[in-house]
Copies of this chain bind each other. A is one copy, B any other.
């Protein structure tokens, strides 16, 4: 570092949030409470200059995160090892920084990401839960996990997922994604956990896939329907509703 030159560091944060009271991750019009706005204010205050936050996943309204990754550049000399605790002191209860580290200058939370992993939690029991209902979808009857696994297998691999994207969204140049993993596990107490890993997800793609799988698990749609929807590549042809946001959580991002 040349004396007198301003040293710029590139920092990476692992961020958790309870999405219930947020209008999603990304800053939108004024007055909406978003994670980016709340986190950006805290980071700007600690760094003593405005910052531009880059995030790995632009989660929708109501979606939670245990492993969102955010990066930003700063000229501040605040020690990295004290950053997480300093930020948590400023942040509201429903956002927290789990870890902070300095990364290479080339690192970009969004563009450097190799894969994202989302979890979707379903709770099957007769009555809804006042506590677990915040982080899981309540389904009244048991789901046929084996049937969901068999049908879901058709989605794993590289496909055009346009039929599983949000209608009316602007998906960017390509709707082809590589779904690397789709695991469906039965946990204790009637819980079913879906874990999906892909190089990237289209808008609402996880919720559309899980919504269709739940219809499979309930026996509502015929075998082969998921592959048919995929091959139709037309969102309007998908008869399954997306699973609601509150069961979804961004678990981790790999680089």
CA separation between A125 and B126, bound complex, in Å? 35
- Minimal Cβ-Cβ distance residue in B for A97: B127
In the complex, the answer to whether B18 meets A95 with C-beta atoms within 8 Å is no
Query: Interface range on chain A: under 10, 10 to 19, 20 to 34, or 35 or more?
Result: 20 to 34
Bound CA span A208–B185, Å: 39
User: 1/0 per position for A115-159, CB-CB distance to B under 8 A?
Assistant: 000000000001111110111000000000000000000000000
Query: When chains A and B are docked, how far (Å) is the Cα of A85 from the Cα of B125?
Result: 12
Residues of B within 8 A of A27 (CB): none
Partner of A96, one of B94, B96, B98, B133: B133
**Contact present for A130 and B84 (CB under 8 Å):** no
Q: Which residues of chain B have C-beta atoms less than 8 A from A97's C-beta? A: 127
Does A99 belong to the interface (CB within 8 Å)? yes
- Using a CB-CB cutoff of 8 Å, which residues 144-179 of chain A contact chain B? none
Q: How far is the CA of A113 from the CA of B128 in the complex (A)?
A: 25
Residues of B within 8 A of A94 (CB): 130
Contact B66 A127, beta carbon cutoff 8 Å:
no
Contact A98 B66 (CB under 8 A): no
Are B16 and A129 interface neighbours, CB within 8 A?
yes
* A66–B16 CA distance with the chains assembled, in angstroms: 25
